[in-house]
Structures are given as structure tokens and as C-alpha cells.
Amino acid sequence: MDFKKIAHAAVCRWNEKRRTDKTSDTHRTSLPEAAPAVREAVSPKAANLESALGGFLAERYEFRFNVLTEVTEFRSKSDKRNGTFRPATERDLNAICLEAHRHGIDCWDRDVARMVHSAYVREYHPFRQYFQRLPAWDGRDRLHGLATRVSDSPLWVQAFHRWMLGLAAQWAGLSDGLHAHSTAPLLVSDEQGLGKSTFCRALLPPELQAYYTDSVDLVRPDKVERQLTEMGLLNLDEFDRIPEKKHPLLKNLMQLSALNLRKAYRRHSQALPRIASFIGTSNSRELLSDPSGSRRFICVLVEHPIDSTGIDHAQVYAQLKAELENGERYWFSHGEENALRLHNAAFYRICPAGEVLRRYYRAAQPNEKVRPLSLPEIFARLRRLEPGAMAGVTLPKLAQALVAAGVQKVHTHYGNRYRVAER
């Protein structure tokens, strides 16, 4: 924060006032009564106060304005090596004011607040600054090793790298605004205590840990939208407990690339870029309910404790930054999304239609000769064989179950048909 500029401006205003007064004394009687009061708004006392207070603050403190949270942060220069920036609260400003009094500066708390909450405080973007200060990448691939801490599945390793590129693009401001980071890893295990949530948090470097949260309340979408512009990583902890009716809302939130929000103390809304990405954990494999939306998730089965220690964050993100600057794609292609959809079939929530379908049909193999059936044909047979289990099942639900079972849909002159084989 350049308080020296404030002091210099105050002195300049006072000198200018003195020059103006000398050249306009003959005209004073012709001015309205309010005019002298306006000209004398900047008194020698006010100029001296601004100069003294500005110098005092610049000598003892560092201030910065966090553009994500819109909060002024500060730290003492006497503890610069170990001190971390923290929000400048009213309590802090009062303490600074009292300290200024002890040094002979006759200021009010509002004088301190006016300076600290002014545009003279430099702006600070936590994620942009982190990427600007990264060292050069040493050329060694660290994303592969980071992914294999969770699983050595080739699909997971490749998809995790692509997802990390999307995360870094949003953090560093390198995204093109056309491709939202609409995919989220889901770390799944049959037991607790394998370190899934710890790994999620460990993806953020120590400097950015404050921008991680696992408090994501889909009951309040307005709060989640604000988190997308202020946080770095949102963990959908215990994803399997999210009600199915909330999945469409989550899908819409994941597809946002920018948000139009009105922040606190502002009269008008403004377009804000999205910063945060999604990740999730679950202790159940029955996660997904919408086959068409399953391409938005990277489900990975965790079968051993995850080691989250010793991550070289600086080189991990230096690698991502170098790859992005070299034009590496950070969004998933259609082919990659289809691969995810097929892979995620093992993580669908089992519905009554799916259970009945699996008893009487299976997905035909690519070269297997079968007679493709229409949806009504399959529906009629299953309802005839299992009337009780099929009660309440609709054609759209059955269609979802077919997709979830990996059944190929083909287009013919007679409409859509499904390549199923009877069991």
C-alpha cells in the first residue's frame, strides 16, 4: 500500500490551495457563502494528518486488497518473515489508531479506515499471484506420479491430468471462457479411512489452503455460486448422500464458466469469472443416476490408503502452467467423455428397472449378431415377466437403465433400437 502517495497528494493539495488563495483574494466577496467552505475543505491540519498517518502506516504495515473476497488484508512489517496476512477487522483498525496516538498522530479511527479501505491499497489475486511466482518447470512429469497415488488405472491417470489442466487454467486465468471446467473426479472406496478427503485438500499448495472447502450446500445454490468465484476447490464430500433431485442443479453449476453476482455492499451485480473446480468422495459405488450426465465425472475406485505427503506443489503447478502456455488442451474431448461414460457404468445407482433388465437382457457384444429391439418391445416383455417389479417404471427410466447397462442404441428406418441379447 503506497501511503506515501497519499501524504504527497495531501501536501500538494495544500500548496495548491495557498497559491489559489493568493490570486483570488479580490474576488472573495463576490462568491457565495458556501464557496470558502469548499475551498478550505483541505486544511493544513488535514494535510499534515494525512501525511503523518500515511507515513506511519507505510512504515509499520503491509496492506493488500483481496479481489476474491473483497477484503483488505494486512500484516506487521516487524513480523514480515513469520507473519501472514489476515483480514483487517474493525478491532485491528482501532488498535492501529491507538498505536498512532502513542506516536503523536491525532487521528480518528475513521481516518485509519478511510486509508486502509481506499483504492491506494494494491489489489491482490491469490491464485494469479501464486502462478506468477512459480519457478520454471524442470521438465520432469509429476502429474503421473500424483495420479497413481490414488490408482494406476490408465483412464484415471489420463483423465486426472486433463482435469488438473482445467483446474490450473481457471486458477491462472488462462481459460478461454468457452470451455467450463465441467468435470469432477469422484474418489470411491468401500471403506472409510483411506485418505480420500485428505488427498483432495492436499491438492492445494499451503499458500492456498484457505480456498478449499468441503462445505457445499446444494440447498443454497446462491451460496455455491459465490463459492465458485471465491474458492479454489469444492469437495462434494459423501457424494452418494446428495439427493438425486439435486443432480440436475449440480450439473448446471458445473457447467458455469462465469457468474453474474451482486456482492455484499454493492448495488449492482457484476460478471465474475469462475475460479473453483469440483471434486468428490464417496464410500458407496452407487453414485450416478443420469447416464447422459455421467461424462461429467471421473469415478475412480480407491483400493489402498492414499499417501498425500511430500507433494511438490511448486513443480506440479509449474508443469501445468508450462503445458497450458504451450497450448495443451484443458477440456475433455467427445471421445474422452464417451470413455468416461462407459467407464462410469459400474457406478450407477441401481434402480428397479435396471435390476429387472439385468435378469433378462445383457448388452450385445460389438460383433454379436442380434435383432435390435425397440424400447416398447423391451418394456412390454419385462412388464409381462415382472409386473410387480416394473410397477411405476416408465419408458424414460427404462431407457436410462439401458444406457447405464452399456447397451448400444442404433438408429434405423423404424426408429431407435437397442442391441440387447436375451439371457
Q: Name the segment(s) of the chain with CATH classification 1.10.10.
A: 352-422
Cα 327–chain centre separation: 22
To the question of domain 352-422 being in CATH 1.10.10, the answer is yes
- The residues of the chain that CATH labels 3.40.50 are 131-347
CATH number for the domain whose boundaries are 131-347: 3.40.50
CB 184 within 8 A of CB 254: yes
Q: What is the pLDDT along the chain (423 residues), one digit of tens a residue?
A: 565 565 555 545 545 555 555 444 444 333 333 334 444 455 666 678 888 888 899 999 999 999 998 899 999 988 766 678 999 999 999 999 999 999 888 889 899 999 999 988 999 999 999 999 999 999 999 999 999 999 999 999 999 999 999 999 999 998 877 788 899 999 999 889 999 999 999 999 999 999 999 999 999 999 999 999 999 999 999 999 898 889 889 999 999 888 777 666 566 667 788 999 999 999 998 888 776 678 899 999 999 999 999 999 999 999 999 999 999 999 999 999 999 988 998 888 777 788 888 889 999 998 899 999 999 999 999 999 988 888 888 898 888 888 878 888 999 888 899 999 998
pTM value surpassing 0.85: no
